[in-house]
Structure 1
Amino acid sequence: MTSPLRVGYVPEHFQSPLLQLAERDNGNTFVLVPCPSGTGQIMAAFANGEIDVSIALTESLLAGITKGQDSFKFIGTYIESPLNWAVITGANAPYNSIADLEGTRFGISRAGSGSEVMANVMALEQQWKKPPTFQINDNFAKLRQSVNDGDTSAFMWEWFTTLPYVKSGEVKFIGNQLTPWPSWSIVAGVTVDAAKLTTFVDSLDHAVRRFDQGRQSGEAVEFVHKTFGYDKEDVQKWIQGVTYSQQHLSTVKKSVITHTLDTLVNAHVIDQRDWDMHTYINTNVAKLE
């Protein structure tokens, strides 16, 4: 009997179609492997042979491959819309705007994570002369504690995930940063059978279309509300702003890859400019456009 795929994922609302698919699949073709620390943890899991496929942040995955991680490649696009990164500081911290954070120490989940990459992208867009420094805090709870203890000035995390903690007054929101590229991509281990991956992506594509249909009926809002505990009004706002890939999920656009890589070079995240698409994309599964 063929063993099920091990799917690493960040347990957040973006993964709702995947979670719904997992309920229907019941472990027959894949099992979920939670990676709550984010894309940095997912890349480590690939390197350690702990997962076969994952949905993670586009920019961190590309940076990881460029820096030499060869255990996974892109096989699809999950979400086309940007990710809205909230810039969060301590409830009583002296920082009141993004400009106040120049040259300070940011908390990040792991080296190479989206929280680190996007801080560098933000520094580029803000034209800071003094770049941020970083402290690894592992997970979301420790990041919140760190800004309130004063160990770090701020951290960056997805807006709707941070919203309940902003509402409660535990932390303070001082600005946001959008990714200038599609936010979530699908990647898989380089040794995983292409036919199994194609079947999985086809099933996930169907799950995404089903979730999108549920936007009109209210089923999608109800699922996210019950699963993650967010206020229905907040879920509705999130759903209105997110766009899952409008093409089949196996489609990867070369222009997206090169634009993201060029931005990462300019933000001093990576230093290479000679992009070979086959280094990044498994064309046995993905449709490169």
Structure 2
Amino acid sequence: MKQITIGGVPEHFNLAWYLTLKNGEYKDEGIHLRWQDCPEGTGAMCKALRNKDIDIAVILTEGIIKDIIDGNPSKIVQTFVQTPLNWGIHVGKNAPYKTIEDLKGKKAAISRYGSGSHLMAYINAENHGWDLKKHLNFEVVNDLNGAVEALTNGTADYFMWEKFTTKPLVDNGTFRSIGNCPTPWPCFVIAVREDFIESNKEDLKTILRIINNTTIEFKDIPSIDRTIANRYGQQLQDVQEWLGITEWSQSLIDKKTVTTIQKELHALNIIPEIVSYEKLTYKL
């Protein structure tokens, strides 16, 4: 049986992968799919793809586009979550900051350079008309636990992360939420190493067929809201709100969207150039 490794954040967005793995659906097709948690997020997954530690990644759209342009030999094969990601902007419970404007020139905690928390700090700064050279400073904290430590001891001032994932930390008073910053595009895509695509097309098609059959009816799974709330330590009403605004996708990201993302990243000097749609995507 062929072993294939897929990486992703251990968050509610990826519960469909857990369910299909638990049900043995890939094994039934002769595929030993192994899930690898990547709590450090997009930057860590980009590195894991480059190092061939994982074959497939469920990854933030803007992060993998940047990394492919920077030389990561991978391709986007499908959109996974069609709707934007709602990034919460968080500060420590005792921090003096009350508004997003108070964070101008302060230090953002990021999981690593090239991660979503890094790139979205630029988007947020642009949204508020800040000077990107003067008003952005970063502290690398690796993951959510590192962010809790940094915001608590004051080595960083604010942290951007998916708002429903961090909501339990807001509820228990570790963080205060002072705003949101949605991505202006589909948030998660499935990216695969080019060498893996070339030699495993049929297995890849099978994996996508299985996960797509689950995501297309994910919201209809009985008591799915309670399952998510229990598994991820979230309030039921928060999960229901999240389910109401989240849509999965079963198709490849379109050319227009890829161009829009690249134009935004290029304007922020996050990428050096705008490349062709074909350099970034692969249609199975």
Give the structure-1-normalised TM-score.
0.92
Match of 2:207 among 189, 200, 215: 200
2:80 alignment partner in structure 1: 78
1:281 alignment partner in structure 2: 281
Match of 2:44 among 41, 44, 47: 41
1:7 alignment partner in structure 2: 6
Tell me how far apart the structure 1 counterparts of residues 26 and 244 of structure 2 sit (CA, whole Å). Answer: 31
CA deviations over 1:206-252 (Å, ceiling 9, x no partner)? 010231322xx4x221221232121212111111111112xxx2422
Do residues 90 (structure 1) and 92 (structure 2) align?
yes
Tell me how far apart the structure 1 counterparts of residues 14 and 170 of structure 2 sit (CA, whole Å). Answer: 22
CA deviations over 1:79-106 (Å, ceiling 9, x no partner)? 1111000001111111111111112211
Q: How does 1:1-289 map to 2 (within 5 A)?
A: 1=1, 3-25=2-24, 28=27, 29=31, 30-70=33-73, 72-129=74-131, 130-192=134-196, 193-214=200-221, 217=222, 219-245=223-249, 249-273=250-274, 275-283=275-283, 285=284
**Amino acid in structure 1 at the alignment position of 2:137:** T
Deviation at 1:27, TM superposition (A): 6.5
Tell me how far apart the structure 2 counterparts of residues 276 and 238 of structure 1 sit (CA, whole Å). Answer: 34
**Amino acid in structure 2 at the alignment position of 1:198:** K
Tell me how far apart the structure 2 counterparts of residues 260 and 162 of structure 1 sit (CA, whole Å). Answer: 25
Root-mean-square deviation (CA), in Å? 1.3
Tell me how far apart the structure 2 counterparts of residues 253 and 103 of structure 1 sit (CA, whole Å). Answer: 36
* Percent of aligned pairs with the same amino acid: 30
- Partner SS, residue 191 of structure 1: helix
8 Å Cα contact 1:124/1:266 also seen in 2: no
CA deviations over 1:142-174 (Å, ceiling 9, x no partner)? 111101211111010000111111111111111
How many residue pairs were aligned?
A: 275
**Where does structure 2 lack aligned partners over 5 or more consecutive residues?**
none
8 Å Cα contact 1:56/1:186 also seen in 2: yes
**Amino acid in structure 2 at the alignment position of 1:80:** Q
**Where does structure 1 lack aligned partners over 5 or more consecutive residues?**
none
- Partner SS, residue 180 of structure 1: coil
Tell me how far apart the structure 2 counterparts of residues 262 and 75 of structure 1 sit (CA, whole Å). Answer: 21
Tell me how far apart the structure 1 counterparts of residues 21 and 282 of structure 2 sit (CA, whole Å). Answer: 24
**Amino acid in structure 2 at the alignment position of 1:209:** I
8 Å Cα contact 1:87/1:156 also seen in 2: yes
Deviation at 1:125, TM superposition (A): 1.2
8 Å Cα contact 1:90/1:153 also seen in 2: yes
